[in-house]
Each structure stands twice: as structure tokens, then as C-alpha cells.
Structure 1
Amino acid sequence: MCAVTLPATPTPVDTLRRVFGYDAFRGNQQEIIDHVAGGGDALVLMPTGGGKSLCYQIPALVRPGVGIVVSPLIALMQDQVDALRALGVRAGFLNSTQDLGERRVVEAAFLAGELDLLYLAPERLTVESTLRLLDRGTIALFAIDEAHCVAQWGHDFRPDYLALSALHERWPSVPRIALTATATEATRREIAGRLNLEDARHFVSSFDRPNIQYRIVAKNKPEQQLLELLTSEHKGDAGIVYCLSRASTERTAAFLSQNGIEALPYHAGLDAGTRARNQSRFLREDGLVVVATIAFGMGIDKPDVRFVAHLDLPKSVEGYYQETGRAGRDGLPSTAWLAYGLQDVVQQRKMIASSEGDHAHRRRLGVHLDAMLALCETVECRRVQLLNYFGQASEPCGNCDTCLSPPQSWDGTVAAQKVLSTVYRLDRERRQKFGVGHVVDILLGKTTPKVSQHNHESLTVFGVGTELSEAEWRGVVRQLLAQGLLSVEGEHGTLVLTDASAEVLGRRREVRLRTEAKRAVRGSTRRAAAAEAELPAEARPVFERLRAWRAATAKEQGVPAYVIFHDATLRQIATEAPATLDELGTVSGVGENKLAKYGQQILDTLAA
């Protein structure tokens, strides 16, 4: 590896240009970098794709010593280090995947001052030998990546993160920077408290990802709906599909593969080797789809993920935002698509009711779910609702499903009263509890074996709901559950009233319900076509030649293609057609090391 030569006292801007090949910082990157490079502590919230890594990588390069990066992403450390080495940065890692000999090589490089950045898994900082090793070297800073993992009731809690509060006690003069893409104000306070960063400066970037189109659809054969999305709008694109269970992950991956879409499963039930191979293929190959549980994706640096789809309801807005943020890291148009139905709500409510922890914990889970349901059921702009959850005001985006095809709302008070009255009569008059299907059968006046068995034809509500179809009644029940006007209990998910139900039954509260949009939203194909159109016609074959060169180079080196160059860089090269190394060096993303390493190959490819 050839290291980039920097001036004796490099500035952040020098480092940005020479190492990373960019002329200017984005957003509040420079403010954060100057603060940390000057020795200050920081808590940074920045959306995925916003450039968080530079906020600790550049201070580590301009300060004396080695930047220690604490990351939970053991499976991705090799790729992160490869990407830095490709830039000429001296990087290494220590984690449980290495044997003793490999660890000793890295430790020796650290002690000799031959590293710029050293990545550690959080559990290594609970080992005394690691602490003693760090004592013997010079530390430039501590970067705590994915800092939301310290939030004890968060969506990605890692117990080993709790020990990181001791860093300041052992190395009080070393600046610390904690970074995350996902945190409400309450979570920020928890991160600051648990990491002993109460006096740190907070930097909160916009949570908006304008290139992502958010779409939530009512479930109706969700695997078929997903297939339609991928074949009509994302053919040949890389993407991630999230499922709640291992079984549905396997089933969906097989279904997509049988229908001509190459899809790989990823979940904790697979052996470690299979998981590693599937993740590696996703990172290194174009156009693969991974179908996964939420165990997959944190820290995925693949910039060209064009869609993230959910076939089950996420448990929280934080989790949803974190997962959808893995799409479109390169800034190009991408889709966040979620299929959501009544059974999702019932299942999540049951899971909360039976979850471990005290009443306060279950209440917190309920609050998280309520916010997610509000996002699903809103008739307003999805992006406004999403950003508002994180405390950020915004205007309607014009690029989500509710903006492009606005749903209507209707006065569902009478329909709600019919559902609630049925549940009331079953519970209070008959001392019986039933699930959604039976309640809907009673409203529709269906004489099923179960209805006859319990003599429910005699209920005054039997047959009072023939004005709506079965699917429409299920939609009503789903929205009543979402609004907290109904709840579920027990292993079988029986319906029960809530304290708020009385307000509706007593005619003291109006119930507004959402009518699903009749027109499907299909923005991604048009937006992707528009993005392609930005490339002049004469540049397109050049771009494809450059991509082919990049693929061959990446395969030869055993690294993901984006480690060589991002698509955005290749697009600029194809468009500008630089004829000399000096001209090529002005392209965004072409730093000194990559220019020296790949410059002549690129010029040869352009001349071919």
C-alpha cells in the first residue's frame, strides 16, 4: 500500500483534497472536523450517506497519533479498511475474526506509529490487554460509530457499548466523537449520558434524504406486490428486503429467485460462513437482492442500493429510518417501500404484550409502535411526518406516495362504533373474546360454524355492517388498532376495548379513517430514467466501459467495486473525458493515491 504524503501540519481541507479527492466539505462537516481536530468532544447526528466517516477520519489524519474507531460492524471491518487503504490511508482492525499472528502484526504497526486509523469491536475495550496496548501508543481520538447502540431500549442495543463511558476516565485528554444516523432528542440525551458526553458539542444535521421516495401500501399478497415493484421499477438493481422472521426471509428469497430475481437470504439462523458469503456477494456484485431480518445492514457502505423494501411492519420509526437509509447513499433516486396490513398491527401488539421487561418498558415499546403506525396511516406527507418525529420541521416533499397520490379521509365514526359495539357485546354480554375475523363475520351477517356454535346470530349487531366489504372492515379494524381505539391481548390476538373506546361509543369523539389511494404511485422508473438522462448519450458507452474496467479491477483485488470508485465519479469521468492525469485529478473522488494507482488505466480505458 502506498500512503498519501501530507504536509507536516496538514489542514482538513488539504486532507480532503489529497486523500479523498473532494474540493469542499458538505453541510456542517467542516465545523465538526475543526472542532474535533482542535481537541473537542462531539456528538454527531447525520443521515446515512451524509459523510459521517469523514468527520472522524480527517481529524485522525491531521492530529498526532492513531484514530481509534469503535464499531460493532465486525463483518464489515475488512471492507472499511480496504476502502481506506485504497485511498492511501494506513488502516487496520482488531477483532475476533483474526488469529493471534494477524493481531500481533496490527498491534506492532500501532505501536510503531504505522497506522492512521485502527478499528476495534466494542467488546475488545473490555479486555485489559487491549487497554494496555492503547496505553503504549499515541491516540489521536476515539470515534464511537453507531452510537445509538448504547441506548438501552433502542432498536440496536449492544451491552458492550455501556463500557465506553470509561474512555474519558482513562484517557481524559483524548477527544471523543460519537456518531449515529438515528436518534430522537430523548435518545441523544441517553447517548450523551451513557457515554459521559454531557459536555460535548452536539451537531445535528438534517434528517432529510430527498433522493428517497417513501411509499407505504396496503398488504395484498405482499410477495406478489414486491415482485411487481422489482420487475417494473427496479429490474437489475441492488436492494434489501426486510422480513420479520427467518422463515419468511427464506421463503421470500426463494420466491424471488424462482421468478428471475437473484436473491440471497440473510438471518441469524444461517451458519456464519453462509452469512459472510451472502454479505460479501451483495457488496461485491451488481444487482443482487438480499432478503434479511434486521440483523443485516448496519454500516453497509454499498452506495448503489436502489431500494429498501419491508414486508413486515418495523417496530419503530428509528428502526425504519435506519433501514431505509441504506438506500441511495450515492444521492441518486431510490425507493423505500413498505407493505403494511392488519395482521402486522395485531402481531406487533401481541409481541409487546408478551415482551420481557417491566410495564414501563412495554409502554415505551407501545409508544414506538404508535409512532410507526401514525406514519403508516397519515394522510399528510410521509416525509413531513418522518422528519417531525426527529424534531425537524419541513414542507410537503412532493415525492412520497401521499404527495403524489393523496389519500382521502372519511368520517368513520359510525363504522368504528359498530366494531366497538360488537367487541363490547362479545366481552360484556357473553364473556367471550374473539379475533378480527370473527368480529367481521358478525358485522357482515355470515352464518359460519363458529357464529352458529356460539349463537352469535342473536346479537343485535349481527349483520349491521353489510355496507362495507370484508377487506374494508379489516381496514377499519387496522386503523382503530393504530389509533389506540382497540387493542389485542392473549396468544390468539383477541380484540379488546381500550379506555379511549368509550369516547367513541359515547359519541364524544369523531373517528377519521384513511381511504387508500386508488392510483398506484410509480415514481422510481421515471426518476431513474431522469438520472440516466443526465448522462449525455455519447458518454453512456464510455461509462459502461469504465464500469467494466472497475468490475475487473475490483475482482482482481478482492474488494467491492465502490472501493475502487463510486458511480458518481465514473459518471463525471465519462462526461468530462479528461485527457491527462492532471485533468483526471480534478474529478471529484479522485485523490492522490487513486490517481497514482489507477490514473493511467482510466486514461487507457477512455482512449480505447
Structure 2
Amino acid sequence: MPISAARDQEPDIGARALSVLNHVFGLPGFRGAQEQIIRHVAEGGNCLVLMPTGGGKSMCYQLPSLLRDGCGVVVSPLIALMRDQVAGLVEAGVNAAVLNSTLSYEEANEVERRLLAGDLDLLYVAPERLLTPRCLNLLGQANIALFAIDEAHCVSQWGHDFRPEYIGLSALAERFPDVPRIALTATADAMTRKEIAERLSLTDAPQFVASFDRPNIRYEIVDKQNAVTQLKNVIAERHAGDAGVVYCLSRAKVEDVASALSDAGITALPYHAGLDAGVRARNQDRFLNEDGIVIVATIAFGMGIDKPDVRFVAHLDLPKSIEAYYQETGRAGRDGKPSTAWMAYGLSDIVQQRRMIDESTGSDAFKRVSIGKLDALVALAETVHCRRQRLLGYFGETRDTGSCGNCDNCLTPPKVRDGKVLAQKLLSCVYRTGQRFGAMHLIDVLVGRLTERVQQFNHDKLSVFGIGRELNEKQWRAVLRQLVAMGHLRADSEAFNALKLTDSARGVLKGETAVMLREQPEGARNRAVRGKSRRGELAPASGAHSAAANPALHAALRAWRSEVARERGVPAYVVLHDSTIDGIAAVRPGTLNELRGIAGIGDKKLEHYGDQLLTLVRTTDG
């Protein structure tokens, strides 16, 4: 019998919700606005929920599905997300199933039979499947508790991950007007939120917007020198043996970086759409099921991945927008423990992304929005102020304090100097060389390097030749990149990425516009941040138990969990989350009742694993 069919007769929804939360999921209480959202949906209301990755979005539709009559239908875009969430729900004793392309004809028929028989609490469906006439007719015959539209930003053409099939979900409001709908996303600016509400007929529904802050994530953006070497240093010094995700823009780069990390003794696997489907699936399964795997991927990887113990996310190429950056970095530290979002960034990244926008087939309006989003991300990369404050400000959220204490700029504040003269020298060089050359040639002219190309165009005869010898090539690149970020220069993709003056450059050349530049002494900044960012000095997650409290028991529990996960064919975190293992190791429960008090141990897990866990606690030396 499904949980939703055996309801407590307690009339108060809040009390019933708390009881289900405790008995099914083993959690003592709600977080943030969860209780308010769950009550609203359980009573039949529609809403739009914005909550950061790891903030507990899934509970906002899973629990109301168990409180309401019928089956909750969850629209999810990725098979991996469906599979992992259903596995976790089944472990907790919830009757959950998926309906997607991985099922055989017989398996799909059995899921459909269970739905019509009222034998399901939750059903996960891909949007393409849901919108077929067969599936819509099936849902029309079933008792539906609610519709949850996960990753709702996919419905917006202004979002970072637009999926055309999501637009058809507007049919749900028309065909099922009396069934509550909850749309959820971790990432949406004001424009995207507006479009989500309009397309899903939620304009009159309340919006629950949680804080976008992820205080356990340390944000670091460094000058790209040798990005792979820089990354290897970060992993070796702070994240040896940790699970991580590394994002690259191209498939070829994914392969190269994965190979380089493997050569350095790091267990790294590639993931991109060009790989054989079997290889891709095996690599993803290893990442989900094993400890300490680093996946190197294009953006084809990650959305919906529910692995809670990813300790770092690294970008070796600039994402397209702050939304994409926030979504991707948010895959780190879902368990609330200290984690790192690290990115290596250079001028070539701006040029490459701008060229991709210019060469896209999108409308002029789409290109303008895309350029604005890219400019906002570049401003985040170049800011000398708190990165967290800038990031949250993009989503309309303000912080009470100026320093977050957990980003590179707050930990090692950069020095800023008046850069007006340097800017004038560089802009003059661009102008006098005809606005037809890229960064390398301009720097050659500035530092007085007599290359064949400089001589070919007689640029050694110009007044700007050699006027910038006070800086080296790396420092000039930093100046150039900051001027692009400020909007005084732009890369012209139609002229082989030649740098050209913008309208605002005139004010700089005339001395009317102030230019403050971040100083970047050779190697000093990266060394300073590195020294302050070792794993042991990261801020502890609130309420987290220390694994070091009982290392022998902690290791034994992890080994037991891995064995159980292999036997059951599910990711290790589906059996027990790291935080639950930490709690058991710290408390060393001696009875089933004491074990039941550990967060993450619900009734079914106590029934399945209680005796084994107590035996492990008793027989492992502390």
C-alpha cells in the first residue's frame, strides 16, 4: 500500500507533514521555507519555488505528494536524476517509479498499471514522454496528487539551459486545472522567473524565493596561466581523494584534461556527448557510486546529479552566464560541508564566448541578452570586492556585510591602483595600430618587442612602440582583460578577434573617466589564496559531526555502505548520506532507539539496516 493511501487521521497538515518527514525521511525538522511551501501545496495551491542546490527542493514536492490523495507526477529532464531520486525514495519505503525511455515495453506497462491501480506515491516522467497523447490520456484516468516541474528554468528562452520541450508543459494547466502545480529551480534571474510564471500559468501563484547563498562554498577565480597545472595543484593541496567535477568547453579539452589528471595519479574520467553511450553511462555510474572520482565534462554533465559529497567544482573555461556558473558550482557541497568553486579565467575566454554569441543563429534580442549576461559574469570574475556579494546581487539579493569571509577577494583582498595612464597607453596602442590586431601583437608593441610582424607593419616606428616597458606581458594581459571587462575594449569576431575601441574609450583617452585596476604581482596572489585555503582551514558546516571524532568507525561505516550499495545497485549516498555516517560515528548509538535519533535514519532504514549498524558500532574500536 502506498504511503499516500495510509494517511494519519491527524487533521492538521503541519503536524502530518512533520510526522512523515520524521518517519519516512528520518529528518527532525524543516529547513527555511520548506514547511510553508509544503503546507501551501498540500492544501492545493500552485507556486514557484527558487531554492539553491542542496537546499531541499525535492522535499517541497515529495512530501506533499505523500500528504495528498493520489500520485505526485514529477517532470524531470534527466534520466540520472529520476533514477537516483527514485532509488532513494524506495530505500525510504516510498512507492516511486520512473516512466522513461530506459524501460522495456513490459516494464512501462507495469508502471502504468501501478499508476492506475493507485499503487504509486510518486512517478517521475520526462517532459517528452509526458506530452505524448498516450501519457496525457493515462494521467487523465489516474488520481493525480500534484504536478512538480523540476528544473523549471528550462522553460525560459532567457535561461541558461532552455529546452523547447518544456514549453509544452503549459498544457498541464489547461488539461488538469484542479491539480496543483509546483515549479522549482535553483537558478533564475528576474527575467527568467517572469517567463517561467507566464509559460506555466503561474502568474497569480506565490513565489517562494530562498536565499541563493551557499556559505559552505568558497569561490575562487584565478588568472589562467597553465590551467591544468593550476588545477592539479588545487586538487593535490586541498582536495586529494575528493570527488569533483571539472568543466571544459570542448570535447577535445575534456579528453586532454582527464588524461592529464590521470597521469598525475588522480582518478579522472571524461564525460561528453561524443563518447559512446555505454562509456558515458559507466563513467557517470562510477562517479555516483565510488568515492573520490573526478569527472571532467562539458555542460552535458551534471544537471540533476544528486551526489551530495562533491567537494569541488572547477571551470577551466568561462561559462556563458552567472546562472550557468551558479548552477554548475552549486553541484559542490550539497551536503553542507566545506567545498570549493574554482575557476581559471583569461582574456581568451571572453573573446571565445563573445565570438560564439556573435556567430549564433539567435535573434538580435537574444544576442543582446546573451552579451549582457556574459558581461555580468566577466564583472564577477574581475571584481575586487566580495564575489559572493556580487553573485547574490545578480539575483536581487543583498548581504548585510561587505565581506563574506569565504571567497578569494575577502580572504586575500587585492590591491587596487589608479590605472588611467596604463589604460591610455593601451587604448592609444589599439588606436594607432588601426584596431586590427589581437592582444599578443598589441603587447609586443607596448613592451617594444621587435617581432617580424611588428616590423612588417612598421609598428616599431609608432610613438606607442615601447611605451609600456614598465609592465611585463602577463601584467599587460591583466590590464587588457580588465579594460575589456570595463567595456572600453571589445573583441571583433569578424576581424579575427581584433580588439577595438568602444564609445566609452574616448572618455578614458581624454582623462575624463577614472580607471582603477587590480594589481597582480607575479604569482603572489595565487600563493596567498592557496596558503589560506587548505582543507583544514575551511569553515565547518553548521551542525556537522567531525569524521575525525571516530576515524576507525567512520571508515568501517563507509566500507559497509559501499558494500551494501554494490549489492543493491544504487549509489552509496542512497543507502546513507555522509552526514548520517558522521552522526553515527560521533554518537556511537547502542540501541535501535538511539540509532533512530540520527538524522537520515527513517523507519524503513532502521528496519533494513538497524541491526547491522549497531553490530558495526559495537565491534569497531573507537
What is the TM-score with the length of structure 2 in the denominator? 0.95
Q: Matched residues in 2 for 1:520 and 1:8: separation?
A: 54
Q: 8 Å contact 1:2–1:593 — kept in the other structure?
A: no
**What secondary structure sits across from 2:491 in the alignment?**
strand
Q: Identify which of 359, 365, 375 aligns with 2:380.
A: 375
1:219 to 208, 218, 224: 224
Give distance in 2, aligned partners of 1:119 and 1:153. 26
Classify the secondary structure of the residue corresponding to 1:520.
helix
Match of 2:13 in 1: none
In the aligned structure 1, how far is the partner of 2:54 from the partner of 2:537? 19
2:203 is aligned, of 198, 207, 210, to 198
Q: What residue identity is the alignment partner of 1:400?
A: C
Residue identity in the other structure for 1:583? E
Give the deviation of 1:524 after TM superposition.
4.0
Unmatched tracts of structure 2, length 5 or more: 11-15
- Residue from 252, 273, 282 that aligns with 1:247: 252
Equivalent runs, 1:36-435 vs 2, <5 Å: 36-394=41-399, 395=401, 396-427=403-434, 433-435=436-438
Change (3 A) 1:146 1:529: closer
Asked if the contact 2:159/2:188 (under 8 Å) is kept, the reply is no
- For 2:161 and 2:445, the matched residues in 1 are separated by 42
Q: Measure, in 1, the Cα distance between the counterparts of 2:8 and 2:382.
A: 57
Q: In the alignment, what sits opposite 2:580?
A: 569
Shift of residue 184 of structure 1?
1.1
Query: How far off its partner does 1:368 sit?
Result: 0.4
How far has the Cα of 1:415 moved from its partner? 1.0
> 1:106/1:495 Cα in 2 relative to 1: closer, same or farther (>3 Å)?
same
Q: What is the distance in 2 between the residues matched to 1:194 and 1:418?
A: 50
* Aligned residue in 2 for 1:549: 560
Residue 616 of structure 2 aligns with which residue?
605
2:592 is matched with 581
After superposition, the Cα gap between the structure-2 partners of 1:473 and 1:47, relative to the gap in structure 1 and judged at 3 Å, is same
* Residue aligning to 1:455: 458
Could you tell me which amino acid in structure 2 is paired with residue 423 of structure 1? V
Secondary structure, counterpart of 1:583 in structure 2: helix
Task: Tell me which moved more, 447-456 or 131-140.
Answer: 447-456
Q: Is the CA contact 1:4–1:593 (under 8 Å) kept in the aligned structure 2?
A: no
Aligned partner of 1:496 in structure 2 is 500
Give, in whole Å, the separation in 2 of the partners of 1:279 and 1:435: 40
Instruction: Provide Cα deviations, 1:163-199, integer angstroms capped at 9, x if missing partner.
Output: 1111011000000000000011221111101111101
Contact 1:334 1:524 in 2 (8 A): no
Residue aligning to 2:510: 506
DSSP 3-state at the match of 1:339:
strand
The reply on whether 1:472 has 2:441 as its aligned counterpart is no
Alpha-carbon distance, 1:219 to partner? 0.9
Of 524, 533, 543, the match for 1:523: 533
Contact 2:246 2:296 survives alignment (8 Å): yes
- Paired letter, 2:499: L
CA 1:515–1:538: 2 relative to 1, 3 Å: closer
Letter in 2 for 1:579: G
| Residue 97 of structure 1, CA deviation | 1.6
Distance 1:528 1:452 in 2: 52
Instruction: Report the residue type matching 2:314 in the other structure.
Output: A
For residue 389 of structure 2, give the secondary structure of its aligned residue in structure 1: helix
Q: Distance in 1 between matches of 2:534 and 2:162?
A: 34
Contact 2:547 2:554 (C-alpha < 8 Å) held by counterparts: no
Q: How far does residue 536 in structure 1 lie from its aligned partner after superposition?
A: 7.3
**Mean Cα deviation higher: 589-598 or 514-523:** 514-523
Could you tell me how far apart the structure 2 residues matched to 1:46 and 1:529 are?
22
Tell me how many residue pairs correspond in the alignment: 604
1:2 positional shift: 9.6
The answer on whether the counterparts of 2:545 and 2:582 sit within 8 Å (CA) in structure 1 is no
Structure 1: which amino acid aligns with 2:432? R
User: CA contact under 8 A between 2:5 and 2:69: conserved in structure 1?
Assistant: no
Partner residue of 2:490?
A: 487
Aligned-partner residue type, residue 497 of structure 2 = G
Distance 2:4 2:544 in 1: 36
What does the per-residue CA deviation read over 1:120-148, in whole Å, with 9 as the maximum and x for residues that have no partner?
00011221000000011000000000000
Q: Deviations over 1:278-337 (max 9, x none)?
A: 111100000000000111100111010000000011110000000000000110100000
Cα distance in 2 for residues equivalent to 1:535 and 1:268: 39
Unaligned ranges ≥5, structure 1: none
Task: Give the conservation status (yes or no) of the 8 Å contact 1:9–1:62.
Answer: no
562-571 or 537-546: which moved more?
537-546
Please state how far the C-alpha of 1:520 moved relative to its aligned partner: 2.8
One-letter code aligned to 2:426? V
Change (3 A) 1:607 1:314: same
Q: 2:549 and 2:405 mapped to 1: Cα distance? A: 32
Q: Which residue type is aligned with residue 291 of structure 2?
A: D
3-state SS in 2 of match to 1:303: coil
Find the aligned partners of 1:438 and 1:79 in 2 and give their Cα distance: 52
Is this contact kept in 2: 1:317–1:372, CA < 8 A? yes
CA root-mean-square deviation: 1.7
SS in 1 for 2:331: coil
TM-score by length of 1: 0.97
- Equivalent residues of 2:3, 2:66 under 8 A apart: no
- The 3-state SS of whatever aligns with 2:287 is helix
Higher mean C-alpha displacement, 397-406 vs 346-355:
346-355
Percentage of pairs with the same residue: 58
